[in-house]
Structure 1
Amino acid sequence: MKTTNHPSNLTIIVAVSENDVIGKDNDLIWHLKNDLKRFKALTSGHCIIMGRKTFESFPKPLPNRTHIVITRQESYKAPEGVIVVNSLEAAIEQAKQDANPFIIGGGEIYKQALNVVDTIEFTRVHHSFEGDTFFPVIQETIWEETNREDHKKDDLHKFDFSFITYKRR
């Protein structure tokens, strides 16, 4: 059910626990330095599409990215330079000049985006957490793992984790 009227490589980027938790109380649960570095490296210079609550969880807009915020609030006021839209489709339309925009959350936006993205840049945190926001199970009939890097916990990383790239079959 993928639409064709969108950028050439629309990508979800997400970090997910073993039990598919992605957050709790509108916040990240874990801090993995290399995951944050990877997020920055992949998304810098691109459009990042997110829901309002995800945007509001940032202390300030992230540098070197075009922020596109989805909200149902008609009168939502965002900082200058932040694009506000009322649907995922409108966000994708705003990002069409970018060859590789990223969907960065939250849970509801990810659920909607799974039907239209080409790629998922997935960090699997090898630990289970309590949370209130979950990522849908990746269906192997739809998604193919094309790359994986496994990392062991160390002084900077409290948990084992894997960087996995999925492409739509």
Structure 2
Amino acid sequence: MRFTATEIDGVVIVDLDLMSDERGAFARLHCPDEFAAAGHSFVPQQTSLSRNAKAGTLRGMHYEAAPREEAKLVRVVRGRIFDVAVDLRPDSPTYRRWIGTELSAANGRALLIGKGMAHGFVTLEDDSDVLYQIDRIFEPGHGRGVRWNDPAFAIVWPLSPVVISERDATYPDFGA
């Protein structure tokens, strides 16, 4: 695996090292020792799948409130998305900044999103499946969100959503 830092401390692009032969290819998706050696101690406790039927489906921007913050490794196993993380840590030098990258089954790329970040994505293809590995077990009642188009973040999405939940569309302005 190859780890590439982004402009936001705690958000890392993880690319695969594919081993290919006449059968196809093989790659490790996660190895706690490799992550730790690269300075990212991430050990998943839960794995979830988000199935998205239509291109233009937007999910997010979600996070878990203190003290239940979570880190996650997000990867696409079918289709293609534009994945976004927003820094919500008030003491961070990149507070309210965002990073976005394309994740697809074809490129095998993942985004490691540290604690204190909001996360969301928009699908760029029909039938996009997103795999989440999360460092803690989900506990109801701690989920929060910020609006995908809140001017406080000015996220530049590659397309406007055509499918979005009422909850995700109506989060209040950040800090309101």
TM-score by length of 2: 0.25
**More helix as a share of residues:** 1
Q: Which structure would you say has the larger RCO, counting Cα contacts within 8 Å and 6 or more residues apart?
A: 1
**More strand as a share of residues:** 2
